[in-house]
């Protein structure tokens, strides 16, 4: 059973456009929601994370929107650049658990 559901599986965006990736979860005990970025041949690296006490977190061109009542969170990449082309994973964890639950990943391609 997938604890975190991620969509879309792949995404193609024009340079300068907005990329949006969505995730949903069921376990209300989750209280930490990170996004990881992975380039080919590399391990995932933390991009941005949010905790449920806020509805939005912004770091540069990257924004997480969080809807606690809907149990959904999303990553928005503004002014998408070819260098943003990568695989993005959402994840969730709880302060009482010992592991992260990852989404299935989104392959983003930004076309020049």
Partner 1 sequence: NAGVTQTPKFQVLKTGQSMTLQCAQDMNHEYMSWYRQDPGMGLRLIHYSVGAGITDQGEVPNGYNVSRSTTEDFPLRLLSAAPSQTSVYFCATFQRRNTEAFFGQGTRLTVV
Residue numbers at the binding site for partner 1 (CB under 8 A): 6, 9, 31-32, 34, 36, 41-46, 49, 51, 89, 93-100, 102-105
Q: At closest approach, how far in Å is the CB of 14 from partner 1? A: 25
Of the pair 13, 91, the CB lying nearest partner 1 is at: 91
Q: At closest approach, how far in Å is the CB of 18 from partner 1? A: 23
Of the pair 72, 107, the CB lying nearest partner 1 is at: 107
Q: At closest approach, how far in Å is the CB of 38 from partner 1? A: 8
Which one, of 83, 76, 71, lies nearest residue 57 by Cα? 76
Which DSSP string corresponds to the chain? --SEEEE-SEEEEETTS-EEEEEEE--TT--BEEEEEE-TTS--EEEEEE-TT-SEEEETTEEEEEETTTTEEEEEESS--GGG-EEEEEEEB-TT-S--EE---EEEEEE-
Q: At closest approach, how far in Å is the CB of 111 from partner 1? A: 22
Of the pair 47, 110, the CB lying nearest partner 1 is at: 47
């Amino acid at each position: 059973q997938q604890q975190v559901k991620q969509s879309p599986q792949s995404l193609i965006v024009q340079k300068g456009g907005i990329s949006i990736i969505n995730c949903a979860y069921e376990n209300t005990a989750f209280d930490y929601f990170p996004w990881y970025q992975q380039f080919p041949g590399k391990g995932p690296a933390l991009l941005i994370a949010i905790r449920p006490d806020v509805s939005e977190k912004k770091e540069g061109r990257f924004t997480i929107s969080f809807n606690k009542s809907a149990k959904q969170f999303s990553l928005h990449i503004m002014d998408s650049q070819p260098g943003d082309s990568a695989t993005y994973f959402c994840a969730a964890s709880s302060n009482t658990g010992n592991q992260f639950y990852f989404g299935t990943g989104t392959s983003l391609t930004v076309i020049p």
